[in-house]
Structure formats: structure tokens, C-alpha cells
Structure 1
């Protein structure tokens, strides 16, 4: 996935490896996908080997020179092909794969963004319609002596309710965003 994130960011503008890492620690942290700077540099090297990105050396006075990366034509095609592959939601709501697909694929076209939102929304709606079995889990508790089963049941139930509330809010965001995108003219 880091390959795709880097290709998507480089589609926006040329960046150094340091700038990519800084973005991922800053605004990119809300995608939910964490990486280290060494991972960024290793991935850039692999993308260069695959001829998906290239770099120019940017001399810096009083500092080490920087490699500034750009997409190649092959990198642009690869990114667009990825954005047009069918999106399959992960079982976990708010998975980083969705946000990467929505942001980096969606920026390549309104149709891609809308289709990604629709698929994610349909999947999450079906997910919350499926009965949960938290009661069965709680009823079957046979904890070790140090755990009070009634207290464990309360904690498990509270965690379950937080997950449902969070998913409901996420579905609300998906609905509003999809409606906004569908109602906006090109």
C-alpha cells in the first residue's frame, strides 16, 4: 500500500523522501496508515527500480542535497490502473485502505470517488444490519478467578456499543459525503 500512497502523493506534486515522510506524520496521519522515514526511502528506491518514479537532485546550500521525486509516465498509468480496479471493503470499519482509495484514487476522478463511497457505504450498511452476538459471548463467559464476570460483561458491552456508535457516525459521514459529491456539478 505504501507504493500507492507515494504514487498518489507524487501525482499531486514533486516531493523529496523527507517531505513524503513529513506529510505522513502530519496531515497523512488521519488516513490511519503509519510508516517510518526509512520505509519511505526503501519504497522510493523500489519505485525507481521499477521505473515508476524518477528523481532530480536538488542542491541545497549548507544542507545535504535532496532527491526530489516525480512520477514517470509508467507511474501515472500504474496509479490510474490501481484507482480503476474494483474496490473491496475490509471487514473493519474505517480501515486505512478505504481512505487511501478514497483520497488517492478519488482525486483521479469524480466517478472513482463516488463509486468508492457507494461501495463502502453499502458494505457498512449491510454490516450493521447483521445481528451481533455480543450477548452470546457475554453469556458464555467463564473467566479466570481474577475477573468478575459481571464486570467483564459490562466492559465488553461498552466496547461493543462504542464500535456500533462509531460505525453509525462513519456511515453518516459516508452518506453526507456521497450526497455532496453526487449533487455537485462537474
Structure 2
């Protein structure tokens, strides 16, 4: 998942300025990507415009510098939806935000697409639990520095149990969402909000 995918998704909901996008990443998107800088937002917007995924119009602001309001293009909508509904390779750590990022734009997906996404996640995590939950966690230790075996074992056991509980909670929450979706009505996904700005030279 790239920052561009997230920004395309936000623009798909509503045209926004660079400042608006940064504000979104600092609030709603703060768990989807860590510490997004303003410079990163503007670099991504420049890339998106070069690729034809977004356009901007100047928004007059009396007494202040005009703002650029960015819009999604048809090509940008295609790139966004290809990522959103395309193959989902579950990351090696369930806490990585790839799943949450796609779920953040669930309104652009069908119920069946969402259920398939959740099934992929649940299958991957079930296989991880089967493979790693009861693995041999012993380590061959020949420390070259002072080392407390007992203290290490206490912390290691805590980490294992804490991780197992977090994984179980994740699996349970995803399964709960899947059950809720089964009872939800099947509706047509929302169309992305496309802009009406014209490329330079087409005016």
C-alpha cells in the first residue's frame, strides 16, 4: 500500500486541498499510516497529477494565497479501485494497516468483495496460529555479555501470551464483522467523486 492509494481514496470521497488531505491523515488516517508529513502529501499529489490520476483547480481565498483543490480523474478512480478490490496479500503481521486501509474505504466495495477480503484475512491468520502458536520457542543461547536466563524467560513468555491474545482478538473481531456483513443488504458501491477540472491546454 502506497500513500497515493490512501490519498486517492480520500479524494474519491470528496475533492480536497493538500491541507485537507494532511488533516485527514492526522485524524481518520492516523492508524493507516504513521506520521505523514505535509511534504509527503504534496510529493504524492505531484506524482498523482503527473500520472493523470488527479487534477487541481485554484480556489480563490480573499486576503490569502489561492488554494489548490484536488480532484480524482477517471484514471485515478481506476487505479484506486484496482488496489482496493484487487488481490489482498495478507501482511506477515496482523497489526500492519493493509487490511484497515482497505476497510476504511469499504463504501466503494460490494458486500461480496468485503466478505472475500475478510475470508482471505481469516484464512491467513488461522494458518499462522496453527503453524506458530505451539512451536518450540526454545533458543540456543551462548551469550557473550552478562545475561539473565530467568528474566529473559519471563519476558519471552509474556510476549508470547500477549501476542497470542492480540491475534485471537483480531481474528474474533474480523469474524464478527464478517457475520454482520452477511446480514447487511447488498447495495451498489458508491461511485468515486470525480472532478471537473480540465488538464492544462484543454480549456
Structure-2-length-normalised TM-score: 0.84
Distance 1:14 1:142, change over 3 A: same
CA contact 1:83–1:112 (8 Å) conserved in 2: no
Identify which of structures 1 and 2 has the higher relative contact order when contacts are C-alpha pairs closer than 8 Å and 6+ apart: 2
Equivalent of residue 137 in structure 2, options 124, 132, 135: 135
Comparing 28-37 with 79-88, which one deviates more in the overlay? 28-37
Match of 1:158 in 2: 158
Are the equivalent residues in 2 in contact too, given 1:87–1:119 (CA < 8 A)?
yes
Per the alignment, residue 12 of structure 2 pairs with: 11
Q: Deviations over 1:141-184 (max 9, x none)?
A: 33344321110111112112111111111111101001101111
Which blocks of at least 5 consecutive residues in structure 2 are unaligned?
187-203
| Cα pair distance change 1:93/1:23, threshold 3 Å | same
Question: Residue by residue, what CA displacement relative to the aligned partner does 1:112-142 show, whole Å, maximum 9, x if unpaired?
Answer: 22211111111111111213436323xx233
Partner residue in 2 for 1:22: 23
The answer to whether the 8 A contact 2:25-2:33 is kept is: no
Residue number in structure 2 paired with 1:60: 61
Q: Report Cα offsets for 1:78-127 as digits up to 9, x if no partner.
A: 112222321110111121112112223x3212222221111111111111
Alpha-carbon RMSD across the aligned residues, in angstroms, is 1.6
Alpha carbons of 1:150 and 1:23: their partners in 2 closer, same or farther (altered >3 Å)? same
CA distance in structure 1 between the aligned counterparts of 2:136 and 2:96, rounded to whole angstroms: 22
Residue 81 in structure 1 maps to residue 82 in structure 2: yes
Distance 1:16 1:134 in 2: 52
Q: Secondary structure at the match of 2:132?
A: coil
Q: Give the count of matched residue pairs.
A: 183
Larger fraction in helix: 1
> Post-superposition shift, 1:74?
0.9
Question: How much has 1:8 moved relative to structure 2?
Answer: 0.5
**What's the secondary structure of 1:129's corresponding residue?**
helix
Residue 181 (1) aligns with residue 181 (2): yes
Give the distance between the partners of 1:32 and 1:182, measured in 2 at CA.
29
